[in-house]
Structure 1
């Protein structure tokens, strides 16, 4: 079959658009729960120079006092607001196919502008070739994007600041959103990396209260954890003499045997399911080398105060750059621009096994 460059470009982009529409980035399965929750409540923003800005109330500047008629009354100039400023970043993933590979699959590209007659069988051949490449592009972009939403972004100034940068295990130092945690106590989240099976219940209760103390903060509505943390939580829940101890029942069907099931059908805390994050268990394919393995971590998150902010018109859009004159390679890409922001760190907590 013979295609013009324009026809090939349309075919490739149509294939990529098809996969993005039918398997969109924001409809991922439970294996990437952070990405799933963030994309479910994402809030696009219109272009900004460098930052996405969140307004933060740092206090009330109260002048309240008890007095009698002879006292001098106080008045203050209210300085109650700070601004957190989150840079926005650019993410790209792309794929290319050479005309040699196309030719090997019976597809030739004709730049003369004359299109050949393409049979239905040839259309299927082209679709099959491009479908695998576009599917791999989509899944690869999703994998890397999900990983980077977790990592601190410390490896590159061009990389988005993810969960480990916004809510690190050290909650008293570092600057995030332009505000220094060492200076502003109210810009800190709860962190505890000393949990064990015996202390887990008490420490999780403390973390929950810390996340729930703000009048407009609400409570955590998402709990994410790695495999090691989940195993210890299950053991803690099964211990005797604890409020959360599991009680097992053996069912006798009356037919000469009993049904046994030693598994737990679900793990919860305060009614919130503890969601397993399998990509944590190998530290994202070894990309993260922090001292505390992700499999030992658990995050209490309030998704009303943690927001994925894609730039309007740049939320995983498809691109097809023109072929360079120096080669016979055709390329396609997905592009995302945006930020991950928060406006109330105290609504979240990070916990970890000792």
Structure 2
């Protein structure tokens, strides 16, 4: 027997799920400063062709300019500039199910929408939390199915392992940087506090810049952020137009390379590593999504109905990957 044979009722459920799946996309992307900035800068991209792997063209070398005069020979040695970084697609779904009894007792139009809204809220929250954890994670959770976040993209040991199928030990331009401040990785400093935080950030930012590119966003754990905040008196605090427009609370440091927005990562369920901050070049980062899989209903219509149970199952699914297209200007700093 069908859960509810009323065609109009089924259309209500289908329309509710389809509408809310669009809302989920905005809720998830706007939930963290990095993803909101990437969305704002058009750095969330749908891969136009599918396939079992995500292949991202990268430029891992550059042409050498040459000064010349008269009959000097010009260097035209062939040079391979482009290759592909290869990633697995990561898939995340927030699932829920409703029994025939629950649907029977909520069979009116308003009741049906209210019930579906409640479960969609729960699905949204589960996807949002999993996505936020994935942005910090190393991709090993759930048997390696998790999205490759900062933990894998910006490792502690920068010249080991592979990322996107490329060996970081052999390709220097494919590495991020790690600065262990207590170990003296920032020349002249071995302590992270209110007196050293700002000059350390200025020094690192300038060192990791070239041609107008630099790490323009810092995401710091509570301990690291406290020292940065204490470095400013109230009248010195600045917030960039970007932070104000996107609605995030933070501060902006003016460095020799350019303004750097600083955001704190914390709160219940926070998975940010302690005594750590990440410097992100937002122009070199992107989120790629699989065609037709950007927070859409997991099952067609109003859901999947088991042949031996009076129930309906539905969810919201996302398939994609976080990618550092150019890791050179992005870094991790350890503060204690």
Residues paired across the two proteins, number = 303
Partner of 2:246: none
Partner of 1:137: 123
Q: Is the 8 A contact 1:63 1:76 kept in 2?
A: no
**CA displacement at 1:17 relative to structure 2:** 2.4
Instruction: Give distance in 2, aligned partners of 1:336 and 1:236.
Output: 40
| 1:191 correspondence with 2:175 | no
**CA displacement at 1:60 relative to structure 2:** 4.0
Partner of 1:313: 292
Partner of 1:37: 37
Instruction: Give distance in 1, aligned partners of 2:10 and 2:157.
Output: 49
* CA deviation profile, 1:11-68 (whole Å, cap 9, x unmatched): 32322223233x3423458752233233443011123333322333333465969899
Instruction: Give distance in 1, aligned partners of 2:177 and 2:145.
Output: 28
Q: Is the 8 A contact 1:174 1:180 kept in 2?
A: yes
Partner of 2:16: 15
| 1:333 correspondence with 2:312 | no
Secondary structure, counterpart of 1:304 in structure 2: helix
| 1:78 correspondence with 2:79 | yes
Secondary structure, counterpart of 2:95 in structure 1: strand
Unmatched 5+ stretches in structure 2: 182-190, 238-248
2:200 paired residue among 203, 209, 218: 203
Partner of 2:185: none
* CA deviation profile, 1:262-295 (whole Å, cap 9, x unmatched): xxx953222333122225x7543xxxxxxxx624
Secondary structure, counterpart of 1:294 in structure 2: coil
Instruction: Give distance in 1, aligned partners of 2:56 and 2:24.
Output: 28
What TM-score do the two structures reach when normalised by structure 2?
0.78
Secondary structure, counterpart of 1:170 in structure 2: coil
Partner of 1:157: 144
1:48 paired residue among 47, 50, 53: 50
Partner of 2:261: 273
Secondary structure, counterpart of 1:25 in structure 2: helix
Instruction: Give distance in 1, aligned partners of 2:286 and 2:83.
Output: 18
Partner of 1:166: 153
Partner of 1:234: 229
Partner of 1:260: none
Rate the CA distance shift 1:102–1:24 in 2: closer, same or farther, 3 A. closer
**CA displacement at 1:315 relative to structure 2:** 0.7
| 1:324 correspondence with 2:298 | no
Rate the CA distance shift 1:297–1:220 in 2: closer, same or farther, 3 A. same
**CA displacement at 1:328 relative to structure 2:** 1.1
When Rg is computed on C-alpha atoms for both structures, the one with the higher figure is 1
Instruction: Give distance in 1, aligned partners of 2:109 and 2:153.
Output: 48
Instruction: Give distance in 2, aligned partners of 1:63 and 1:231.
Output: 45
Instruction: Give distance in 1, aligned partners of 2:67 and 2:24.
Output: 57
Q: Is the 8 A contact 2:28 2:131 kept in 1?
A: no
Unmatched 5+ stretches in structure 1: 108-121, 239-244, 249-264, 285-292
Q: Is the 8 A contact 1:220 1:301 kept in 2?
A: yes
Instruction: Give distance in 2, aligned partners of 1:143 and 1:150.
Output: 11
Secondary structure, counterpart of 1:100 in structure 2: helix
What TM-score do the two structures reach when normalised by structure 1?
0.74
Instruction: Give distance in 2, aligned partners of 1:233 and 1:311.
Output: 38
Q: Bigger shift: 320-329 or 50-59?
A: 50-59
Instruction: Give distance in 2, aligned partners of 1:99 and 1:154.
Output: 38
1:181 paired residue among 153, 159, 168: 168
Rate the CA distance shift 1:95–1:247 in 2: closer, same or farther, 3 A. closer
Q: Is the 8 A contact 2:220 2:264 kept in 1?
A: yes
Secondary structure, counterpart of 1:139 in structure 2: helix
Rate the CA distance shift 1:220–1:133 in 2: closer, same or farther, 3 A. same
Secondary structure, counterpart of 2:45 in structure 1: coil
Partner of 2:277: 298
